[in-house]
Structure 1
């Protein structure tokens, strides 16, 4: 099984963590999906990563769908709680984390433009701050976001926090503060999430999938 991934992508990281947690053998091929030599369009008509290529069958793409596919094809260990209400809570947390990740990525690209839309940037920053604040509240003093074992909700939050670290490392915080002066590094603003990240950072699936930024060799925006 092959996972075509992008090294800083929280969406690809979610899938990598789930594959490791489920004990599924796979190899990673890292790409920049916007570069002309990317193989992504061969496997995904939407030209997005990650793409999972099973040993048999068609490619599977879009991170949320890949995670659903893995739960069906490789149900043990489950990444969702057996209790329906707890499973819904986990999916909600995943949805919030994914929305914050989307807004963060949009902000990254907006900051690359010669003429930045202040209105657009402020809107995305409201999503980032609002989503992280909600996740911080939900994390509270829990060891896991839902239930008593590592699962989908934890994976989603860990991947999101890794993306926030990438934003810090690439100098995004000062750029964001032009549009949201109260913006700061997430560990300063969200202590419950900071505690949660420390609790899980040495888990093998988390440690071994730490994101790193790729080099953008071609103009994107």
Structure 2
């Protein structure tokens, strides 16, 4: 099974973590979806990552759908709590993390523009801060975000915070502060999230999927 991925992407990382947790054997092929040599358009009409190519089926894409597909095809161990109410709570945490990741991507693209829209940047930064603040509250002092074992909610939060590490390492925070002076590195603003990640950082699936930025050899489009 082949997973076409991107090393800094939280969307791809959560799929990788889930597959490792489920013991699924797969190979990773890293791509930049706007580079000329990308194969994404051959497998996903939306030309987005991640894309999973099963050994005996059609390509599967879009990270949220992919997580559901993995639960359907490889139900054990489940990444969702058995209790329906807790399962819905885990999906809500996943949705919040996705929203923050989407807003972070939109900020990245906006910052590439010659004329940045301050209103747009401020709106996306409100989403980032609002989502992280809510996740910090939900995590509290828990070992796991939802329930009593590692699962979807934990994966979503860890993947998102790896993305926020990339934001810090890429020195984007000073630019963000031009539009939201109260923004800072997530490790400064969200102690519960910082403790949570530190607790899980040596988990094999987390350690093996640590994000790192790739070379953007071609124009960002």
Query: TM-score, structure 1 length as denominator?
Result: 0.99
**1:1-221 matches, cutoff 5 A:** 1-221=1-221
Deviations 1:179-218 (A, max 9, x none): 0001000011011000100000100000000001111122
Matched position secondary structure for 1:184: coil
Query: Aligned partners of 1:149 and 1:85: how far apart in 2?
Result: 15
Bigger mean CA offset, 211-220 vs 170-179 = 211-220
Query: Aligned partners of 2:214 and 2:198: how far apart in 1?
Result: 25
Matched position secondary structure for 1:4: strand
Deviations 1:112-153 (A, max 9, x none): 222111011000000000000000000000000000100000
Matched position secondary structure for 1:52: strand
Provide the alpha-carbon RMSD of the alignment: 0.6
Deviations 1:10-58 (A, max 9, x none): 0000000000000000000000001111000000000000000001010
Query: Aligned partners of 2:58 and 2:82: how far apart in 1?
Result: 29
Query: Aligned partners of 1:123 and 1:155: how far apart in 2?
Result: 26
Deviations 1:48-107 (A, max 9, x none): 000000010100000011110000000000000010000000000000000000001111
Matched position secondary structure for 2:28: strand
Matched position secondary structure for 2:130: helix
Bigger mean CA offset, 105-114 vs 201-210 = 105-114
Matched position secondary structure for 1:100: helix
Query: Aligned partners of 2:10 and 2:43: how far apart in 1?
Result: 20
Q: Which ranges of 4 or more aligned residues in structure 1 deviate by more than 2 Å?
A: none
Query: TM-score, structure 2 length as denominator?
Result: 0.99
Query: Aligned partners of 2:36 and 2:61: how far apart in 1?
Result: 19
Deviations 1:142-187 (A, max 9, x none): 0000001000000000000000000001111000000000100001
Matched position secondary structure for 2:52: strand
